[in-house]
Structure formats: C-alpha cells, structure tokens
Amino acid sequence: MSRASHSLTITTPIPPTLPPARVISALHNHTAILSLQALTTDYKDIPLSQLAAAEITQADAYFQPVYSIDPTTSSNNLKQYLATEAIPIIPGAGDWAKISLSFLVWFQDTQSGVRTRADAPAGVVVRAEYTVQTRQSQDQDLGVGLGSSGASSNNNANNNDSETTGDHYANASSDSSEWVLVENVSVECNWFLMPFVKRQMERAHRDICRRVIETLH
C-alpha cells in the first residue's frame, strides 16, 4: 500500500533571560524530550556500537554520517533509546482504552539542537528536529511558522550546521528576545493509518518545546 506523510512545525519563544546555549544543553541531555513527550511512559538507554551507528546514518540521510572505518577519528554522537508509549485507542475513555507500545528512538546532537527518529510499530516513522535559532532566521525558512502543519514528502532535514558555531549561542545576549525553539516534525506511515497516527503525533509533540522552556525558566 502507498504511504503518506504529514509535517508540523512548532515555534516557542525563548524568554530574554534564558540563554540559548542553556536550551541547547537541555536538548543534548535527551531526557528533556523523552520525559516531556505526552504519551511516553518509560524509556531506557540502549548501547549502540560505532558500526551500528554508521549503518543507521548511512541508510538515512536525515542524520549526519557516523563513520565506522576509524572509530578513533570519528565521533559517534548517535544515541539509541527504547521508548514506551501509552496510546489511547478511545479518546477520553481512561487507561483501560490505551495500548502500550515500545520502539527504538535515535537522537543525534547538532550544534543548534538535536535530531530524532522513532521507528514505531506498523511501519510508522517519526522524525523530529529541535533547533534553537533567531526569530529572523526561523521566519526565513520556507513553509514554517507558529504551529504550522501540512503534508510533506521530504524526509531529509537540512544537515548544514556549519553556518552557526557554538560560540554564536554562548555569546548571545541574555537580554535579547530574538531567540526561539523550533520543532520540525514529520510522520510517515500507511495512508490508511494516517488519520489516527497524525492525531497521536500532534498530541504527543504539541507541547514539548513549551515544556522544555518551562523546565529551564
């Protein structure tokens, strides 16, 4: 059967008193996302070898490549977790109407945040990138905005992090109000499942950025 995709962008202002580098540090901790996701009930770290990380990143251009040829010169910044979610089958019916699903999730730190991919049951693939950026640069991105959503057939994120250095975030003025935390999330699955998957994805991701900011501010 054919597959369908759906994308969603969430933009959350970063308070002027909160340094952008601190938000990036929280994203690199990974628990800020794993523990604040609305449907997640449990997660645990699953060791990932250099070779396995290389195979995953080579198979999915969404990630920056991890090379397995020489581990001494190649940093493996791809982390693997087993996440468990409680999925409501009948909205508002309580815990008895939920099913528990466990699946692998990968996190890869970037200079401006983190990229994630979850391979859920039934062939559902969710990719989410969290980035700290200026309001101006976020407004210049095509097709993104505060709470925007839409169909998408492009599974590859922009892998160029070279234009913004760590010093750019560390030296950002703490009294500037121009910084935002942006989540670009997309889901791909069988077209028949999309209405249900889309609803659950948006429920799970709508408040993650806001909650990350609230835990730091």
Position 143 scores a pLDDT of: 42
Residue spans of the domains in the chain: they are 3-154+176-216
- Mean pLDDT across the stretch 94-108? 87
CA distance 177 to 108: 27
Determine the residue type at 22.
R
User: Region 153-162: what's the mean pLDDT?
Assistant: 42
User: Could you read off the pLDDT of 163-217 as tens digits, one per residue?
Assistant: 444 555 555 554 445 899 999 999 999 999 999 999 888 988 989 999 999 999 8
C-alpha to C-alpha distance for 212 and 186, rounded to whole angstroms: 20
For 38-94, what is each residue's pLDDT tens digit? 889 999 999 999 889 999 999 999 999 887 655 554 567 899 999 999 887 776 666
The type of residue at 55 is: E
Selected from 3.40.50.10490, 3.30.530.20, 3.40.50.300, 1.20.58.480, the CATH number assigned to the domain covering 3-154+176-216 reads 3.30.530.20
Average pLDDT over residues 9-34: 94
pLDDT, residue 10, reads: 95
Query: What pLDDT is recorded for position 142?
Result: 39
Question: Exposure of 8 by Cβ count < 10 A (0-12 exposed, 13-18 middle, 19+ buried)?
Answer: buried
Q: Cα separation of 74 and 213, whole Å?
A: 32
pLDDT in tens, 112-156: 999 999 999 999 999 999 999 998 766 655 344 444 555 544 444
